[in-house]
Amino acid sequence: NAGVTQTPKFQVLKTGQSMTLQCAQDMNHEYMSWYRQDPGMGLRLIHYSVGAGITDQGEVPNGYNVSRSTTEDFPLRLLSAAPSQTSVYFCASSPDRVAYEQYFGPGTRLTVT
Amino acid sequence: DAKTTQPPSMDCAEGRAANLPCNHSTISGNEYVYWYRQIHSQGPQYIIHGLKNNETNEMASLIITEDRKSSTLILPHATLRDTAVYYCIVRPAYNQGGKLIFGQGTELSVKP
């Protein structure tokens, strides 16, 4: 199993551009989530999904959209990037929402200029 | 979810036990204590969890006080590769979203 994969590893955007951060898992996990991590801070939850077709907001959802059309994929969309969205983004998955262990991807480092 | 308090940083000598404390004085009866760690630039990694009994696995031990208001993660023989930020998280086992709320964590430096 590849586990949780994220692409790209690095990305630079200009203010106002849009892009999609990709997240995929091959463990048939129902639960997937997106976090962002800013320098010197812990991780903050952006959006999560408890199964295909079901998504919900986390702590910091503004400026981000998600959808979950398949079990494997959970893309994060930035519709109009802002400098405040410069961060490292982590995707995570677990077998279900009550599972004890979540598996994290390697992260995408995004810079918005 | 209950809030946790951890020291911002700790040092430990290689080969010695690292004891990382966490205060969670507002924990509810149905909330578990989880520990994750994040090695520099990598995604967080699950370590261990517990409800009220002490727990041990191949990575660490978790000691939870009888009143459940605090806990200690123990790495019995710390190595340089254990240098990381350690997060203590409290959440219900059956919360609606399965979400983890990360605090600031403790930055553990293991020194030779």
pLDDT per residue as tens digits for the range B15-66: 999 999 999 999 988 889 999 999 988 999 999 999 998 999 999 999 999 9
Given CA atoms B89, B91, B94, B95 in this order, what sign does their dihedral have? negative
* Average pLDDT of the residues in A25-37: 94
Q: Tell me if A104 and B34 make a contact (CB, 8 A cut-off).
A: no
Please tell me the predicted confidence (pLDDT) of residue A31: 92
State the amino acid at position B52 in one-letter form. K
State the amino acid at position A56 in one-letter form. D
Asked whether residue B97 carries a pLDDT value surpassing 70, the answer given is: no
Give contacts of A4 with chain B, Cβ < 8 Å.
Answer: 43
Please tell me the predicted confidence (pLDDT) of residue B1: 60
A22 strand-pairing partners: A7
Q: Collect all residues from B whose CB is shorter than 8 A from any CB in A.
A: 32, 34, 41-46, 49, 87, 93-105
Query: Long-range CB contacts (< 8 A, 24+ apart) of B26-29?
Result: B26/B2, B27/B2, B27/B68, B27/B69, B27/B90, B28/B2, B28/B92
Percent of chain B with pLDDT over 90: 77
Percent of chain A with pLDDT over 70: 99
Q: Tell me if A102 and B42 make a contact (CB, 8 A cut-off).
A: no
State the amino acid at position A30 in one-letter form. E
Please tell me the predicted confidence (pLDDT) of residue A67: 96
Q: Which residue of A has its CA nearest to B94?
A: A98
- Mutation pick from B5, B45, B99, B104 vs chain A, by most beta carbons of A within 10 Å, is B99
Asked whether residue A96 carries a pLDDT value surpassing 90, the answer given is: no
Q: Tell me if B98 and A107 make a contact (CB, 8 A cut-off).
A: no
State the amino acid at position A20 in one-letter form. T
Q: Tell me if B95 and A43 make a contact (CB, 8 A cut-off).
A: no
Please tell me the predicted confidence (pLDDT) of residue B93: 67
- What is the Cα–Cα distance from A34 to A63, expressed in whole angstroms? 13
* Average pLDDT of the residues in A7-13: 97
Asked whether residue B96 carries a pLDDT value surpassing 60, the answer given is: no
Asked whether residue A32 carries a pLDDT value surpassing 70, the answer given is: yes
Q: Tell me if B97 and A48 make a contact (CB, 8 A cut-off).
A: yes
Q: Are B55 and B48 in contact (CB under 8 A)?
A: yes
Q: Are A106 and A6 in contact (CB under 8 A)?
A: yes
- State how far the alpha carbon of A69 is from the alpha carbons of A15, A18, A25, A38, A58, in Å: 28, 20, 13, 29, 19
Give contacts of B94 with chain A, Cβ < 8 Å.
Answer: 98
Please tell me the predicted confidence (pLDDT) of residue A101: 86
